[in-house]
Structures are given as C-alpha cells and as structure tokens.
A and B are shown apart, each in its own frame.
Chain A
Amino acid sequence: MTSMRTQWLIAVLVLLATIVPVAQFTDYHLFQLTMVVVYAIAILGLSLLTGFNGQISLGHGAFYAIGAYSTAILMTTWNVPYWLTLPISAVVCAGVGFVLGLPALRLGGLYLALTTFALAVAIPQILKYKAFEEWTGGVQGLVIDKPEAPFGLPLSPDQWLYLFTVGVAAVLYVIAWNIVRGRMGRAMMAIRDHAMAAEAMGINLPIVKTRAFALSAMYTGLAGSLGAIAVQFVAPDSFQVFVSIFLFVGLVVGGASSIGGTLIGAAFIEFVPNLADKVSKAAPSAVYGVILIAVMFLMPAGAGGFLYAMWRKMFQTRIAQEPVAAVGHDLDSGGVAGKSPKPETVGRND
C-alpha cells in the first residue's frame, strides 16, 4: 500500500543498516545492535497485541523466556542446530500464547494487565521448579554455544549472528506489516477501537483475539530464541518481572501501534540503561520511569506516532491521497492511547 518509492527507500535503509555495522563496528557494538533487533521483534509482538488489538499485556517477558528456554533446551538436550530451533520455538510459543489467550478473552483491559503481570512475577519460579530441572538446568540455567558463520564465510560469530538476526527480523517485520494492513489487522484494530461494533459487523471476536495473542506470543518468543543465541545463556533470574516491564516501556516509548516505533523503543531499552547509569548511578530505572511517565503525558502516541504525525504534516497532500497508509499509526482514532476520534486522517485537504 505504501508507494513504491517509500518501499525502495526502506529497503535501501535496511540494507545500509545491515552492511555498515558489519563492516565498521566492533564485536561488542554489533552484539548491542543484535540485542536492539531482538528487543524490536519482542516489542513488535507486544505491539501486535497491545497496540493493534488493545489487549494490554504486562507479562510478555514470560513468552520471551519460553522462547529462550525452548531454543536453549533444544540446543543442549537434543543438539538441534540453532536455526532449526526457531520454527520449533515459534510453534511452542504460539501454542502457549493461544492457550493463555483463552482466559484472556474474558478479561478486559485492566484485568488482563493484572493477570499477565502476575504471570511475569511468577515465571522465574516456574523456570526454577525442581521437576523440570533436568531440562532447564534449574537455578544455574543453560549455557549454549555461539554459532559460527556457515559456508566458511569470513565473518566473526558476532557479525554472522547480527546478519542472521536482521534477516529473521526483516521477514518478521514484512509479515507483521502485511498482517496489520490485511483483513486480520483491520479486524484486530476494529476490536481495539470498538469491540461491540466490530462484533456487530460480523468479526468473530474470540477467534481474532486468541489468534492475535498467539501471533504476539510467537513474535516475542522468537525474539527470546534469538536473544538466547546471542547471549549464549539462559537462567531464571534473567527473566524477572523487569523484562516484561522493560518490553512494555519500549512499547510505550516507541508508540503502541507504530511498527517502525518498535525499533525506537528497542533502542531505548538497550541504550538508555547505559545512559541512565551516567545520569544516576544508583537509580537507573528511575530514569526509565520518569521518561515513561513523561511520554504518557507529552507524547501519548510514542516516538513512532509523533514522528509519523510530523511526517504527515510535512507531506500532507501526498499522504491524503493514500488514506490506507495512515491506518496503523492512527492513534487518534480512540482505542488504546487515543483521545477522541479526529476527522483529520482521511481526505483533509486544506
């Protein structure tokens, strides 16, 4: 739906963002960038659920953990190659997401946030549980090997992993982009904006909501898998409730229903702790909290929504001819973070 020119522009930018770091960056910086991409996928999953479907989750760290553990267990217990763990982990996480989506159907708004928050608090305990220790490694966790570049490519493991992660991410983003702009995405947003009207229009609420949950869990789970491969280590204590909270922070800062904003949110949660450390050594997450509250008050559509609004102002006439392009970023249309519907999205030519 986006114009060809914009598509080419995005493709070139992605290519540049892939090649330049591999050629220029040190391994450590590449690792950080890999983690940004990983978090971006995780936040994209959360965004599909919270931003586009209006179901607030404060427990997506649990899916991240399940994905990470799926990969780690497959690699250590059954010696599955790392790339093959991704589809398996995707299926596992989508399945878990679907099952958890069933009770979530009955929980609106706050209650869902509460329940998923409880899940996030409880998950480290479940991972530590003695009965699973044979697979999960208990409190110690699991160590996995860093994959080498295949086919004798002259790349360091970090360089290869970055390329691999970006490749997976590109596929996932294209899929998400198309889902959001397709029938499923419109149904999801209709439910977010007005569940009853959506139902009256013939949208099957339970099916769309559980599918959105499964899809979202799959994305975040895959991010967990990639993250586990990059960090080479999983342990219950790396999946405390703060993982879920940081994903939520990234979502809100980037903009809840902005696909491009997920990258901003991811960069935020990867780099801001370092910066925050400089601001205040002892209270880094206070900086997070302050920024989160400031964003809620000053920029409710997040950085992504803000930038999009700027873009729209600059190229208003051109965008006005393509109303569909505004759908995903249109936070003004009520729902999760909007206020009241504003009629300015479509066809305002002044």
Chain B
Amino acid sequence: MLAGVIHQIMSGIATGGIYASVALALVMIYQATHHVNFAQGEMATFSTYIALTFINAGFPYWIAFLAAVVVSFAIGVAIERVLMRPLANAPILASVGVFVGLLLIVNSLSGWFFDYTIKQFPTPFPDRPMMGGYLSGHELGSTAVTLVVLLSVYLFFRHTRLGLAMRAAAFNPTSSRLVGVRVGWMLALGWGLAAGIGAVAGCMVAPIVFLDPNMMSGILLYAFAGALLGGIDNPLGAVLGGFAVGIIENLGGAYVVGTELKLTLALAIIVTVLTIKPTGLMGRKVYSRV
C-alpha cells in the first residue's frame, strides 16, 4: 500500500513537471498580456511533430529536440507579431475568438502535415526502472529535463538584463518604454519562450501518451488547473501548482475517482479554486479603481 502511494506520488511528480512547464508558459503569456492562450496545447503538439520530423530525418534525438525548440520559438514570435499585436487593447471576446481560431488552425495543420494517426515518440532515456523501481527511466529523465528548464527560466528572468527588461515590460509597459525597453519585442520574446517551453513539454509527454493532434488537450486542462491553483499571475506558484495537480491527479486517479474521470478531476480543481480562492494559493489580489 505505502509503496503504491509512493509510486503514485513519484509518477505524479513526473507528469506534474510537464503540467508545470505548460502552466509556466500560460502564466508567462498571461502576465505580459492578460490573455490566456487557449492554443498553447495545440502549439506544443505541433512542436512535438516538428521534433519527430527531425528525428525521422535522421538527426540525433537531442539535436532534433533543440531544433524543435528553436523553430517553436520562431513560430511563437511570429504569432505574436502578426496576430496578437493588433489585439493588445481588444475586448475579451475578440481575444478569446482569435485564440480559438488559432487553436483550430494549429490543430488541423498538425493533422494535415503529419496525418491523424497515433504515432510513437522515442525517448532518449534508458528504458528500465530507476530509483528502486518507483520511476521509469523516462519519468526520471523528463522530470530532470523539466526541472532544468524551469531553473534556467528562473535564472534567465532573475539574472539577465533581457530577463529584467521582459519583466519590466510585463509589469509596467509605459514606464519601461520610457526607459528604453522595446516593449513590443519583449512581448514577442515572451511568446517565443512560451512556445519553446511548450515544445519541451510536448517532447517529454509524447512518449507517455503517444502523439496525435489532440495529444495536449487534456494536458492543457491540467496546466490550467495548476496555473490557477498556484495563482495565474505568479510563475513560481504556477510551477508548484502544476506539480501539485500532477500528484493530485495520480493519487485521485488511483484511489478516488478512477482513471475514467481524471479530466473531471481537473475541472473540479479549477471550479474549486476559482470559487474558494480565485487568486490561487500564491497569487496577488487585484484591486481595480472605480
């Protein structure tokens, strides 16, 4: 029993890492633009297909992985420049509309370019149990990769000039523009980073759930739940929230609701957080002037 619980928690952490990265990507875009990117999951799926294409073309795994991240970064920047720019001050319905449109486009482009069949995705990690049999090689490896990504994102925002400029642009666009930060480009970079992080998450989750155009729709839901649980305006909160949701999902799926209602569990988390503590566990309360 105890071993079972530990096993569930460990693999909860492994999947939680993936939710945490997607949640972080969501929060980065939300912080800078106050938009929730409904197409985040679809974009990550598309990036995973790009990685698979490189792998099938004969490149080594890690080269393909890096290439996918770079290409996704470029796509993210392009989407911000072309589509999101004019939406900066648009009403909510317009921004939701455009994101839904983006979701539809990316989803069917994935199906069109790479066809709708379910594909296997390779893992670079050894296929044997690790940590005394609690984790598979891939779970351990993907957790390590997500932790590295999260740590480097943290270091980037904390200790580089560019990261500082991006935070400034998100925090107070007008003042940052006055001190010479190119706010528009900072937003585009934020989109690029979010897309890149999504690519990593996609490549890490694909070996577990297999690759098809709708791969990420459930994962996006958990990431939403994680972001909201931690506080949608707090990157650290979103990361912790993502891990927490991973653990809750695994424990809940194993012992409470069964695997068939796992998505409903995410819905329940979202509704509970939003009704009981809408700011999330670590979010700031927003006051508005009348």
Contacts and interface: CB of A to CB of B under 8 A. Distances in A.
A11 interface: no
Contact of B107 (A106, A285, A293): A285
Given A107-B278, A111-B274, A297-B86, A289 B102 contact: yes
A119 interface: yes
Interface in B233-290: 260-264, 266-267, 270-271, 274-275, 278, 290
B267 A118 contact: yes
A121 B218 contact: yes
Nearest to A128: B260
B91 A337 contact: yes
Contacts of A76: none
Contacts, number: 140
A156 interface: no
Contacts of A58: 38, 96, 100
Interface string A228-266: 000000000000010001001100100010000000000
B209 interface: no
Interface stretch (A26-34, A162-170, A178-186, A276-284): A276-284
Contacts of B101: 249, 288-293, 296
A115 B275 CA distance: 11
A58 B224 CA distance: 14
A93 B218 CA distance: 25
A337 B100 contact: no
A295 B90 CA distance: 14
Question: Which label, helix, strand, loop or mixed, suits the secondary structure of the B interface?
Answer: helix
Interface string A112-128: 01110111011001101
Nearest to B102: A289
Contacts of B111: 282-283
B218 A289 contact: no
A289 B108 contact: yes
B272 to A, nearest CB: 9
A50 interface: yes
A121 B217 contact: yes
B81 to A, nearest CB: 15
Contacts of B35: 110
A122 B278 contact: no
Question: Which label, helix, strand, loop or mixed, suits the secondary structure of the A interface?
Answer: helix
A331 to B, nearest CB: 10
A338 interface: yes
B94 A300 contact: yes
A70 B217 CA distance: 27
B198 to A, nearest CB: 17
B29 to A, nearest CB: 12
Given A109-B92, A245-B100, A289-B105, A115 B221 contact: no
B261 A114 contact: no
A121 B102 contact: no
A286 B42 CA distance: 13
Interface string B160-187: 0000000000000000000000000000
Contact of A122 (B86, B91, B100, B264): B264
B186 to A, nearest CB: 22
Contacts of A295: 97
Contacts of B112: 280, 282-283, 286
B83 interface: yes
A284 B111 CA distance: 10
Contacts of A129: 260-261
Interface of B: 34-36, 38, 83, 86, 90-94, 96-98, 100-105, 107-109, 111-112, 115, 217-218, 221, 224-225, 228, 260-264, 266-267, 270-271, 274-275, 278, 290
Given A113-B36, A339-B91, 9 more contacts: A56-B92, A125-B260, A196-B290, A245-B103, A288-B104, A289-B103, A289-B104, A295-B97, A336-B93
9 contacts: A111-B274, A129-B261, A280-B112, A282-B111, A290-B101, A290-B105, A292-B104, A300-B94, A338-B91
